[in-house]
Structure 1
Amino acid sequence: MNLDYNMLVAAQRALLLLILGFSCVMAVEMFTDREVHGFVGEEMTLRCTFKSSVPISPGLSVKWLYELPDGGPKESIFYYSSKEYPVENGHFKNRIFWAGDVAKGDASISIKNLTLKDNGTFSCHVINPPDWHGSPGLLVLTVTERAPSFQLSVVAFLAILVFIPSAIVVTLLLVRMGRKFRIIGGSSKPHYKKSAVEDSESSNAMSNQKSGLSEKMYHCCASCLQDSDDEQETEAEDYERARLASDSHVK
């Protein structure tokens, strides 16, 4: 009687160990980043991959939970089973989307328009029957404001590329024109202080130039007057001849 009882206890223990061993083998492994960092207003992908000891079954499901930084109850924010089931209310409404592919062992999700209230711990749970067991992947998200930075738009960058060469060309043209008309740079000859002798010679040369110019103007005017007198005499002679010819015809 005692022998039968001992054999029964041994069989139960063996069965229990077998079940426990089978459960340990038949488990889903989930992998996530421990910490990720995002910025307000941007999009962040929460990555979760998994491995299962059996092929993907139709009953596979993915569940994401969210917990506040200071703890508290966990909130279900996303569920997937053949198709996605995003939450219809709460803080994450219309902001969480499926970004995974179960055929490749990917159970990731994306959060759009991040806010400071999204800070907290996210957990990824995957079940692939008969793999019912497995530790969820935990991920801590930290959202902050992005530091202001100088960003050039494409239009501004192109405007700068066009403006700078144009400004250089215009400046060079103005400088050349200024030198040509002696607006910039003054005379092309170098300036130096003249001696007394050079000043005297320069003054005499200018006086001679003025005298020569005056003499030329005098001769020119005299020539014009002489031509005018000759023309008047010629006209008088022509008039006298015409008068005499008229008188002879009358007689």
Structure 2
Amino acid sequence: MGRQQHTSICLNIVLLLYLMVCFVLCPVSGITVSSPAEVHSVRGDAVSLTCTFTSTSRATSHMSVDWSYRPQTGGPPQAFFHFSALVFLPRDGQFNGRVKWLGSPARGEASIQLLNASLSDNGTYTCSVRNPPDVHGFPTSQTVLTVTPKVLAVHFSDVAVILAFILLPSAIITLALLGRMCCPPKDKSQAQGYQSPIEVTPGEEPGLKQIHSKEKNMTCCHIYLLIYKNHNTALYLMDHSNYGSRYQR
């Protein structure tokens, strides 16, 4: 009797050790969900919230994905997306019509896309995946989304357009005006009807009429010498006429 009890105790000890080894070397299967810690986006853009999972069991129709949102100001999480063989999109709230399913359970994808991101979307997004019989592990993962206002930036192409449509026409107009000032058009009809302020009327000294036939680009020195020469000629003619009248008397 004593030997049988001793044998039974030894068998129990061996069975207990065997169970302990099985639990240590063969852990219970579980699921692992992962996602980026932070995601940055610009207001108005479409932002992808990535979520992947690994499971020792094949994804079946019992697998489910849930997304929840907690505002940046705090408060309890708000569930807004659910997948379980079918996609259940939000029908009200701030995410209504703005969520797109990007997941593929067969490839371990449970991602979504948020359309037309706004500043009110800033907060923490939690992805939860359940795939029975994997009931242990890390079935959730969180991502902090930061949406910033869009900054207007001037690119080199914009500067080139501004130079082409503003500075280039201005330069052309300036060159045209300078050319017109330096080289005025020679119109014969205008030249014949033009009368210089220093031109004399008919009946005065004929010598001064030569100024009108000269080119308009004469310098001040040339005009002064011409006037001086004509003035001396007029004085000579006046003296000669006076001398002739005296001689006749």
Q: TM-score range by the shorter chain?
A: 0.5 to 0.7
Q: 1:62 pairs with 50, 61, 65, which one?
A: 65
Q: Name the residue aligned to 1:29.
A: 32
The verdict on how the C-alpha distance between 1:16 and 1:129 changes in structure 2, with shifts beyond 3 A counting, is farther
RMSD: 4.1
Letter in 2 for 1:106: E
Q: Name the residue aligned to 1:125.
A: 128
Q: Name the residue aligned to 2:144.
A: 140
TM-score computed with the length of structure 1 as normaliser: 0.59
Contact 1:28 1:128 in 2 (8 A): yes
Q: Name the residue aligned to 2:243.
A: none
Aligned length: 199
Q: Identical aligned pairs, as a percentage?
A: 26
Q: How does 1:74-223 map to 2 (within 5 A)?
A: 74-135=77-138, 136-146=140-150, 148-150=151-153, 161-181=164-184, 201-207=225-231
Write the distance in 2 (CA, Å) between the matches of 1:101 and 1:52.
14
Write the distance in 2 (CA, Å) between the matches of 1:189 and 1:49.
90
For structure 2, the residue ranges without an aligned partner over 5 or more in a row are 186-215, 235-249
The verdict on how the C-alpha distance between 1:37 and 1:200 changes in structure 2, with shifts beyond 3 A counting, is closer
State the Cα distance separating 1:34 from its structure 2 match: 0.8
Contact 1:127 1:133 in 2 (8 A): no
Contact 1:23 1:133 in 2 (8 A): no
TM-score computed with the length of structure 2 as normaliser: 0.59
The verdict on how the C-alpha distance between 1:20 and 1:76 changes in structure 2, with shifts beyond 3 A counting, is farther
The verdict on how the C-alpha distance between 1:12 and 1:32 changes in structure 2, with shifts beyond 3 A counting, is same
State the Cα distance separating 1:149 from its structure 2 match: 2.4
- Cα deviations across residues 93-134 of structure 1 (Å, max 9, x unaligned)? 222221233343321112223334323221112233443333
Structure whose CA Rg is larger:
1
The verdict on how the C-alpha distance between 1:9 and 1:89 changes in structure 2, with shifts beyond 3 A counting, is farther
Write the distance in 2 (CA, Å) between the matches of 1:57 and 1:178.
88
Write the distance in 2 (CA, Å) between the matches of 1:94 and 1:111.
9
SS at match of 1:134: strand
Write the distance in 1 (CA, Å) between the matches of 2:74 and 2:17.
39
- Cα deviations across residues 196-241 of structure 1 (Å, max 9, x unaligned)? xx88744344558x97xxxxxxxxxxxxxxxxxxxxxxxxxxxxxx
Greater helix content: 1
